[in-house]
Structure 1
């Protein structure tokens, strides 16, 4: 069982509290280069600026890199925390399998990437007036280089933090699966509350973010590992960054298209969560033979007998 992997190592809950604080410090340190760049350019504090304003102060690709560098720093600190504070190998916070299944990572990546590309092209063909062709070869090539390297670090940080570190830590504390699933999904969605999309489209968009958290959490629990979630999250963010940008999105990039429509949150928020996401889970369930949904999503998390015996002795 994936969550029970943590029982094999140092799983005292105080370690997770300290580890979370250290990761937060790592993220703050990761923001320093962006703050320095903005200060040198304009002498303004980064806290006073929106991401759109940052893009106007600095080159958009450079700003994109510096924003993602924050997540890369957080990932580095998190992996050190897992290794040094919990004495836990990265493999065991990634999967319960004997080794990481990269085939699953690529399947999750390819599934959402193909879907996003197809849907974007359909939207462009149906409503071309909502898009500008934003493609510029040199800036786009630079964006591709940055995105391929940095976006997987950004998405891996979020996955290792929520579906890995927090899910295992909460699971060993409460000894069940449904509490970690709910808490990590809601917290993951809440992390996006200050995104410019929420300001533009209203709080209804939070259904999408929290729903995405549940999707990734269900993938992890049903598959007893994070590989599908790691690939899916990276594929989603990478294709989004390369295909479409807008003045009101968190990532404003040198993408192929620019959405100039007036964004509203309505049925387009509910369809992915209640129709598309269940379809993704159905495809994965068929491919990987998922079963025993009730136990894997709501069952107890038991400490392995071998660990119990060693502790008693």
Structure 2
């Protein structure tokens, strides 16, 4: 089973601490630094100075280093294979990654198209071929690395480590989901929409944790996260979102602040789970989500 894959290396619970503590320390430092700062004004100033391509590269580029550092730590210090960090299967199932990527891409395209049709006044066509091609090249390379780092850290390294330490499945599921959500507390969307958007971020972490445990691997979570961030960066952004890119569309309306922002957590994510449950014939829900981690024999 997936959490037990963490034993495929030189164990020592201290090996699970430095990378999460280091990354979360950076997040806390960033939050402390941004207290009392007008994030929108700061981002606008940086974009004016650097331009959107360079601003995007500086914002997302460090995650390439973070991913390389995490995989190096797992491979060299923990001496665990990247495959066992990714999945309980004999090899990484790329079909699962691309299925989830395609499913989320289709959903984003359809919902954005519907919103554009119903509320055209809230969108501005922003397509400039040269700028978009530059964005696409950078985003296609960097964004999957950014999202993969977050998945390998939270649903991989931390989930396996917490599971082995507590001998439970539900504790790492809850803890990694909450920390994943709180990591986004410094996003400009939180200041613009309100703290109740944290339900969405934590709910997203919970959804990704559930499909990881039920499917015994990270493949579906990797596909979801990559599609969600990459397609959004290319298709539609706004002046108040974390991604500031030369996307095809700019959303110029005010952000939703009501119950509608919670629809993904309580409606869309459950539908995804049902689709995946049927497609991959998941079973043993109670054991996989709430059962004990199997002892080492």
TM-score (norm 2): 0.93
- Give aligned pairs, total: 287
SS at match of 1:87: coil
Give the Å deviation of 1:55: 1.6
**Distance change in 2, residues 1:50/1:184 (3 Å):** farther
Q: Counterparts in 2 of 1:53-92, with a 5 A limit?
A: 53-92=45-84
Q: State how far apart, in whole Å, the 1-side matches of 2:41 and 2:146 are.
A: 21
Following superposition, the deviation at residue 24 of structure 1 comes to 6.4
Moved more, 255-264 or 219-228: 255-264
For structure 2, which runs of at least 5 residues remain unmatched after alignment? 31-38
Structure 1 CA distance for aligned equivalents of residues 128 and 232 of structure 2: 17
The alignment's C-alpha RMSD in Å is 1.8
Is the Cα–Cα contact under 8 Å of residues 207 and 269 in structure 1 kept in the other structure? no
Between 295-304 and 185-194, report the one with greater CA deviation: 295-304
Deviations 1:220-270 (A, max 9, x none): 000000000001100011111011111100001100111111113212211
| Structure 1: stretches of 5+ with no match in the other structure | 32-46, 306-313
- For the residues of structure 2 that align with 1:213 and 1:48, how far apart are their CA atoms? 26
Divergent runs of 4+, >4 A = 21-25
Q: Contact 1:23–1:78 (CA<8 Å) still a contact in 2?
A: no
Q: Partner of 1:3 in structure 2?
A: 3
CA distance in 2, matches of 1:112, 1:48: 28
Contact 1:189 1:210 in 2 (8 A): yes
Structure 1 residue 243 corresponds to structure 2 residue 238: no
Are the counterparts in 1 of residues 6 and 85 from structure 2 also a CA contact under 8 Å?
yes
The 1:261/1:220 distance shift into structure 2, 3 A limit, reads same
Deviates most, 10-19 or 107-116:
10-19
State the Cα distance separating 1:144 from its structure 2 match.
Answer: 0.7
User: In the alignment, which residue of structure 2 is the partner of 1:310?
Assistant: none
**Which of 187, 205, 215 is equivalent to 2:207?**
215
Looking at structure 2, the residues matched to 51 and 91 of structure 1 have their Cα atoms a distance apart, in angstroms, of 38
Q: Map 1:160-179 onto structure 2 (within 5 A).
A: 160-179=152-171
Equivalent residue, structure 1, for 2:20: 20
Matches within 5 A, 1:153-232: 153-232=145-224
- Deviation, 1:20, is 3.0
Looking at structure 1, the residues matched to 94 and 183 of structure 2 have their Cα atoms a distance apart, in angstroms, of 28
Q: Which structure would you say has the larger Rg?
A: 1
